[in-house]
Amino acid sequence: MDRQLLHLLFTCLFILTVAVAQSIVGGDDLSSQAPFQLPADDFASYTSNADSTANFNITGYNTSAPADAADATADAIAGWSIDIHLTADVPLVESADSSVDKKSFFEATKMTLVPPKPNSTSSSLLDYNANDWRICAIVFTAGLGDTETETAQNALLNGSCGPLLPDDCIQQLQVDSVSSNSSDNGDCLDLTVPSVCLDHFAGDGSGSAYQIQPVDLTKNNGDRIDFFAGGSVPYPKKGDKDALVAAQRTVWPVLVTWTHFSEGGKAHDAAGWLSCVKAPNETTEAVVTPETDGSGSGGDGGSGGDGSGSDSDHSGNGSDRIAFSRWAVAVGLGVVGLAVVL
């Protein structure tokens, strides 16, 4: 058999094996589910001290704003972020999944939405309830393509996908994320990678949507909200360095959409941001992304039809934004916001 054809065959078999062997859970309540059907309490214990941790600032909104006619996604507030935690050598001995070897291990990746904490400008914690807002996180679990993944290893990533993806790809992803998740009713919807992005993504080009569950953050002390947990392909021996390196190299594109409702329960305005996050290549206790100059972030966003209002506080976050409202037409730094009536 031709050597190149044989190599292609083995590559395809490997990809298929990975797709079957990975285990992903998210949305709903991660306190009651875990990858590979591990007991949730055991998984939480194993991953309580992650080997690699990073924090990426994102653009978020004042989810305490009640359902009304105001354009709540016209102005962002600082302090929202996504945490990513990578834990090596999680044992499968307690797994209820009959297809896995109970003597094997896996690399666990968790992602968490972190709300703002009270500070000198805001003395109260945010609330978040389903009558006023819906927050969706769409995770492309196969990651980016080989070229983009390699580029990410040497880039100082701040959460922006700008260094890895072309502007038209970022824009179309964000357009699609908002249009598919800004309905009046229903759950968060999965997203297919648009054709302009297919060459830059790995796998089958689909993103899995997870709804950030409404929670009264004022009663939860502003705690983080886990929304994603993934398990790598299991491996037989603890301390598999290749498995750890592969998990650290993975870039996770994450779209977070924010839908604000009117008093009548109609979707009134919405915004979507794309981030590219990954665990650090070196095992560390914590790596926090520094503030940035806002490269790749959204720009001016008008409200009320008169162009007043702005997203001037977008600097310092690393996500790429597209916002939709009844009136707003936003032109961002490398990202164009289009206006639609919801």
**CA dihedral of residues 88, 93, 95, 96 (deg, nearest 10):** 170
Lowest-confidence pick of 108-117, 191-200, 217-226, 280-289: 280-289
pLDDT-derived band at 257 (thresholds 50, 70, 90) equals: very high
Model pLDDT, residue 222: 52
Q: Strand pairing partners for 273?
A: 256, 321
The rounded distance, in Å, linking the Cα atoms of 237 and 309 is 56
Longest dimension (CA), the chain: 69
Q: Where are the alpha helices (DSSP H) in 181-312?
A: 241-249
Structure tokens at 341: 């009536």
Single out the residue of 77, 113, 122, 67 nearest to residue 215, CA to CA.
Answer: 113
The rounded distance, in Å, linking the Cα atoms of 256 and 280 is 22
pLDDT digit string, tens, across residues 274-331: 999 999 987 543 344 433 333 233 322 222 222 222 333 333 345 654 444 332 222 2
How many Cβ atoms from other residues are within 10 Å of residue 201's Cβ? 22
Q: For residue 57, give every residue at least 6 positions away whose Cβ sits within 8 Å of its Cβ, in sequence order, or none.
A: 80, 81, 158, 159, 289, 291, 292, 316, 317, 318, 319
- Is the CB of residue 312 less than 8 Å from the CB of residue 285? no
The rounded distance, in Å, linking the Cα atoms of 322 and 299 is 10
How many Cβ atoms from other residues are within 10 Å of residue 93's Cβ? 11
Structure tokens at 215: 């929670």
| Cα–chain center distance at 186 | 20
Model pLDDT, residue 150: 95
Lowest-confidence pick of 81-90, 98-107, 332-341: 332-341
Amino acid at 255: L
Beta strands in 42-201 (DSSP E): 52-57, 81-91, 105-114, 133-139, 191-192
Beta strands in the chain (DSSP E): 23-26, 52-57, 81-91, 105-114, 133-139, 191-192, 206-212, 225-231, 252-261, 267-277, 287-288, 320-324
- Is the CB of residue 262 less than 8 Å from the CB of residue 152? no
High-pLDDT (> 70) share of the chain, %: 70
Q: Where are the domains of the chain?
A: 3-324
Amino acid at 73: T
- Is the CB of residue 175 less than 8 Å from the CB of residue 167? no
- Is the CB of residue 139 less than 8 Å from the CB of residue 276? no
pTM attached to this predicted model: 0.78
Say whether pLDDT at 134 is over 60: yes
Better-scored residue on pLDDT, 116 or 15: 116
| Cα–chain center distance at 277 | 8
Single out the residue of 290, 286, 289 nearest to residue 50, CA to CA.
Answer: 286
Structure tokens at 231: 């398990």
- Mean pLDDT across 59-63: 90
Q: Strand pairing partners for 139?
A: 208, 254
pLDDT-derived band at 180 (thresholds 50, 70, 90) equals: confident
Say whether pLDDT at 270 is over 80: yes
Amino acid at 24: I
Q: For residue 36, give every residue at least 6 positions away whose Cβ sits within 8 Å of its Cβ, in sequence order, or none.
A: 23, 92, 95, 97, 100, 106, 231, 234
